[in-house]
Structures are given as C-alpha cells and as structure tokens.
Structure 1
C-alpha cells in the first residue's frame, strides 16, 4: 500500500536536499575519500552508513543505480560526525531535513493508529526506534529495457517516506498490474513496510514496488525508513479477536532481518516462517 502525502513546509528543504546532489554540489562532486568509502558503501538497506554502485544481474536485467545511506535517529553527535563532510553544509541541511521527516513519519503513524483503533503512539514507540536515510541515484541509461533501478520488493521496515521529483517509481496493484507513481510537487510517497503488515495483522498491506530506468535523464530519490532496533514483532493485541485470529506468530526483529536479506525467492519470503 502506498499514499502521496503533501507537506508544503518541507518543499524548501526538499529542494535544498536535491540541490546537494546536483551538478554544482552533488553526486557528480560527491567523491568520498579512500578512508570514507569503506564505511559508506551500501549492500543492504539497513547497514547504518554505506555507499556504492550496484550492477548485480537480476534474471535478464541489471541493477542500474548508485546508493548511499546513513542512520539519522537517534540523532547524536556521533551519528552526525559519521555523515559525509561534502557536499558543503550536508550535515546542516540533512540534520534539519531528517528531523522534519521523523516528525512527519510519527504523525502519519499516529493517524494510522487512530484509524485502526489503536492507542495513539502505539506505532511510534519501540517499533520506530531507528531512522535510515537512503539516497538512490539512477543515471541516465542508454538501454532501459535491459536494466532495472530496483527490482520488485517490499521494504523490510515499518514505514518508508520517499521524495522523488521524476517518475520511475512503480507500485504493483492487487491484480498484479504495475502503475507509475507520478511525482506531485511538495509531496512525499508513503510506503508501508512488512513490519506494518504484521503489527496490523494484515489490515494494512505492504507496498510492492520497483524502480525503472530511463534514457533521457538522471533520477535521484530519497527514502526515510522507520524501523525498530530490537524488539518482539507481533500483531497488536487490540486487533486480535475470535473473528480476526492472528495471522503471524511473535518473532525477533533481528531474526527477521536475517530472513529478509537472505531469502529473496518471494516478495514476502521473510514473513513465511512466522505465518500461522
């Protein structure tokens, strides 16, 4: 499941964030030193501080993207010091940006609680202990038919807020058809993760999505993923009754991540060991 959520007060910060990766101060100039690169390379979305390029083959396609990411909550000085020093003002701008994104994420989660009949704050406590900022850059591709930005998947997190200014994000409908999520100025795309599906006992589904490449322009997107650190994941007890038995058994978040990153045979393979 996905939504588009307009937040005009973020528009200036979003523009500033995007400008950091443009021609003058951006990805073309973002060249981490040799000492920085080991801690910045990214292989998996939940690695705290990593960066890299991905050209892994997926069936007959090749991933076509550059990615870097880092933790941003809890926002301690040690965390900020681990961020890149370049482009200039990166730490200042992103520090403000991620605080606003976290406030918005928690507000959205509280609205979900109200709609589900859960206590406000239920989703915004230990289920939301961490926040990871992931930036994907998809260079202009000479042959989009043979490449993919990101293959179809569900996020392993609780919630993901995505900022995009060019099309390329596709979401899969219940009938299996794909449709593009066109960017709306000043809006963020809200994508439910697998953890949200478990906690709501299937009342909220996780959003299956992918990213396609194009031959005309580069595309950069920013994702802010809200997740637990370590806790027991289970359906909320208020959503369980005789008419709505639990769909999942309780499990450790750390154990679940092991399945999420190791078993990619199916979209929701990480949840298979816990289904009832």
Structure 2
C-alpha cells in the first residue's frame, strides 16, 4: 500500500508540474512598454494605405459589401475550415460592439501578438502570424485610420469550434511553433529597394502566405514551400503557386504581376475570381510603386513546384 501511495503521489506531482509548465508556456505575450508607447503616434492619412495593403475590409466588412459599405467593418464573414467555422468580428469604431473602446495598445497587441484586450489568444484565422512582421508605425497609422471609420452596431456571431480547438490557451504552444517577426525570405543588404519593400508588403500586411503557402496538419504554414500554392483553407479548391517555379508565375513579367494587381486581368486576358478578387480590389488602391514592389519580390522568391 505504501508503494501504491508513493506512486500516486508522484503522479499527482508530475501532473501538477505538467499543468504548471503548460500554463507558463502558453501565456499570452504582449508588447513591451516602448512599443506600446509608439502606437499613440499614428496618422490616419498614412493608415489608409496600410488598411488596403492589409486587406482589412475583405474579412471585416459585411459579406459582399462594396463601395462605401466596405468601410463599415461589421464583420460576419465566415471561414469554414476542417477545424471549425471562424467568424470575422466587428472591428468598427463602435465602442460596445466593435473596437471603439480599445486603446492603441489593445490594438497593437491584437495585430502584432494575436492577443485580445482580455488577455486571450486570438485564433490564427486572424492573420497575425503575418501581421507580426509589420512595423510598429504602420500599426499605429492603421489604428488611427480605423478610428475614422463609421461605428456599426451589432456583434458578429461566435466561432463554431469543437474540442480541442475551442481551448484557446493551447494556441500559446502553436504560436511558439509558427509565429515570428522575422522575414521568411532572407535578402542581401544590396537587394534592390523595391524587392525589400515588396517583401515587407507580401510577408507582412499583405499576408499573402496565409493562403498561398501549404499548411501542415495543425494549420501551420510550411515556410520551406513559401508561396508554392495550397489547398484552400475551406478544404475545397486550390490557391495558386505564385513563385517562379513549375506551375507558378515564372513566365509572368513584373509588369504582368503589377497589371493584374491593378486591374484584375491575367496575362491570358482572363480575370481573377473568388477571394482573390477582393484582394485585387484592395491592391488597386495602393500606389503604383507598391504594386511594382510586390511584383519585384515575387520574381525574386525561391521557385517551388505546386504545393497542393
């Protein structure tokens, strides 16, 4: 009996140690004081450019909203995935149902760290794994711009997730595996400035890798096949390879890419469709030099065969 008691006691101690380790390893990480202070210096005029680069309206406007209605960020777009259905929240300036009561620091923690004002992890359907590479000044500008948009009443529906995906705390471990502020593609210091700017736009606010890069069984991006194309998050259809590799856009010129981002027309005179149509409409609102920079970067990334 004494031996059994010792074994039981050891099991309790080990279980407790495991729970304590889990708790510590999954703690939400927030911005430091210096970064948080920098978020109060945003400029709304500059933030409009960041807003379109980041594609905020694509998910947070009401489904199929166009024109001025696309600036009413009521949420409601559903993303149906093998993990469950994620619903984009209201991020309008409404203080009760949107983010109107958030501080700049709250906003920065959400975008750069994937952490809510209540200290919970956000699900990575919100592409903070890409936004983590954004410059703090751009996040400050984006916050300033969103505050100028109209408040919209009404909360979006809750996510529909089963066990174990409804346990947010576990995302702390997932973030340790897949979240980084480091660039995906290393560039020499001597790389042309348009390529560097394009890397920032594609890997950061543009979050192109979230759709165009294959994912593993627990939803993490396979960066060894960066932008190689993937099965769509909803599990149906394919997102194209946008590297210069086989099956990709190797035969597109930089001007072909920039023109597609501006007009939606492909080199073969077809046009983009599906969710890419909304992305293209956002890209069309950027300065021409940003579209050219994206094109320069996409021609410079390592080639990969199709990733799906």
Structure 1-normalised TM-score?
0.31
Structure-2-length-normalised TM-score: 0.28
Q: Which has the higher strand share?
A: 1
Bigger helix share: 2
